[in-house]
Amino acid sequence: MKNPYPDDGFLARWLSSDLTTKEKETFEKSEDYKKYVRIIDKVDTLNTLPYDKEKLFNAIQQDIQKETKTIKLVPKWTYGVAATILVIVGVFFFFDTSTEYTTNFGEQTSLTLPDGSEVILNSKSSLKFKKSDWDTNRIVMLTGEAFFKVRKGSDFLVNTISGEVSVLGTQFNVNSRKDFFEVMCHEGKVKAIGNNRKEIILTKEKAYRVVDDTTENWTIKGSEPSWVLGETTFTNTPLKQVIQSLQHQFDLSFDKNSINEDQRFTGSYSHKDVEIALRTIFGSMEITYSIKDNNKVILTKKK
Question: Mean pLDDT throughout 155-168?
Answer: 92
Report whether 149 contacts 112 (CB < 8 A): no
Report whether 126 contacts 142 (CB < 8 A): yes
Per cent of the chain over pLDDT 70 is 73
Domains and CATH numbers, the chain: 10-94 (no CATH), 98-219 (2.60.120.1440), 230-301 (3.55.50.30)
Report whether 204 contacts 187 (CB < 8 A): yes
Q: What is the pTM of this model?
A: 0.68
Output the pLDDT for position 57. Answer: 54
pLDDT tens sequence across 261-297: 999 999 999 999 999 999 999 998 989 999 998 889 9
pLDDT band at 145 (very low <50, low <70, confident <90, very high): very high
Angle between helices 274-283 and 239-250 (to 10 degrees): 170
pLDDT tens sequence across 164-191: 999 887 899 999 988 899 999 999 999 9
Question: Mean pLDDT throughout 123-141?
Answer: 92
pLDDT band at 80 (very low <50, low <70, confident <90, very high): low
Average pLDDT of the chain is: 82
β-pairing, 180-194 vs 163-177, is antiparallel
Question: Mean pLDDT throughout 57-80?
Answer: 54
**Best-predicted range by mean pLDDT (33-37, 69-73, 107-111):** 107-111
Q: How many other CB atoms sit within 10 Å of the CB of residue 242?
A: 22
Output the pLDDT for position 47. Answer: 46
Separation between Cα atoms, residue 39 and residue 296, nearest integer Å: 37
To 10 degrees, the CA torsion angle through 254, 258, 261, 265?
-90
pLDDT tens sequence across 199-223: 999 999 999 999 988 899 999 998 9
pLDDT tens sequence across 220-256: 998 999 999 999 999 999 999 999 999 999 999 999 9
β-pairing, 139-149 vs 157-159, is parallel
> Contacts from 170-173 at CB under 8 Å and sequence distance 24+?
171/147, 171/223, 171/224, 172/147, 172/148, 172/202, 173/145, 173/146, 173/147, 173/148, 173/224, 173/225
pLDDT surpasses 60 at 24: yes
